[in-house]
Amino acid sequence: MSLARAALLGASRSKFLADQMMRRSFARRAVKRFMPGETLDAALDAAAGLAHSGLGAVVTQLGENLTTLAEAERVRDHYLGVIAAIETRRLPAWPSVKPTQLGLDLSFDACLANLSALAERAQAARSLLWIDMEDSSYVDRTLDLFRRLRAKYERVGIALQAYLRRTPADLASLLPLKPIVRLVKGAYAEPEPVAFPVKRDVDFAYYDLGVKLLEAAAGPGAFPVFGTHDIPLARRLAARAAELGVKDGAFEIHMLYGIRAAEQRALAAEGHTVKVLISYGSAWFPWYMRRLAERPANVWFVVKSLVA
């Protein structure tokens, strides 16, 4: 892991830095590159704008590791409102949640109940509920949540992280469920025995996992979603999909708001299904540091944007 990436990931865990930076106007200006605003309305307005370019959206409220079940219930109610707002506005958008937002640190059963309420509402709205993956200490519990939800609801998806050494076995265990999987590279600080520390190894792992998903999709036995800004890698997987007979629409490409917008539109114009992850909320500092750590060169871009 590079020193810059390690420093940014370390900063993401600092409450002191979060408290300091979230009060600074220059930091708020910088984060606008990655999120259109702190409110749901801002996120949905951005989703509506993307729809005009043929792009879908995934929306997520920032925040994790809550301290009371009452907070988790408020998050659940917020997302019930998100699904309703998306349905009312007829947007091509889906919600994405972190289990810790819904009480996983406090009670597995309460978290499952909160997720079940969201999955049921998403199913009724013909939407889809994405379950994000957090750091490696949550993987087993998150997969357990997904398996339980998948037994009752078809319209629920799970994120898997290619940099974790365990992910090939996790994917193999999920394939009998015909899962909807968003494959990402991974953005948390993990020790070397747990995750590949070298980018090249992560890229190889990502491609191999992506091909396994596409082979299952040819069954069809999975719905692959490739969450990556690595355009050559995304195109290699799209080419492999064509070779396997997996048509456009039977897999998707997801990217973050504000990154490679031109490439997003170009991929959509070529017939690929592209969705953009739009984050919102006031608890943006840890998330923002992890986004910068994914590509430390973004720090220089942000600095230039502040002084331009």
Angle between helical axes of 285-294 and 3-12 (0-180°, round to 10): 170
Q: Which two tokens stand for residue 109?
A: 């059963």
- State the greatest distance between any 2 C-alpha atoms of the chain, in Å, as a whole number: 52
The backbone torsions φ and ψ at residue 59, rounded to the nearest 5 degrees and listed phi first, read: -115, 140
Are 222 and 180 contacting, i.e. CB atoms less than 8 angstroms apart?
yes
Within 10 Å of residue 3's Cβ, how many Cβ atoms? 8
Which tokens sit at 73?
């219930």
Query: Would residue 132 show up in a list of annotated catalytic residues for this protein?
Result: yes
**Residue 45 CA: distances (Å) to CA of 39, 97, 105, 269, 280:** 10, 19, 32, 22, 12
Closest of 89, 84, 77 to residue 117, by C-alpha: 77
Write out the DSSP string of 133-173: --SGGGHHHHHHHHHHHHTT-SSEEEEEETTBTTHHHHHHH
Q: Please confirm, yes or no, whether 208 is among the known catalytic residues.
A: no
**DSSP secondary structure code for residue 50 in this structure:** H
- CA 187 to CA 294: how far, in whole Å? 6
Catalytic, out of 132, 170, 203, 230: 132
Residue type, 300: W
DSSP state of 81: H
SS3 294: helix
Give the containing element (helix H, strand E) for 89: helix 69-89
Question: What is the number of residues in the chain?
Answer: 308
Q: Around Cβ 224, how many Cβ atoms within 10 Å?
A: 25
Q: Which of 76, 121, 182, 290 is catalytic?
A: 182
Tell me which DSSP letter residue 195 carries. B
Catalytic positions, written as ranges:
132, 182
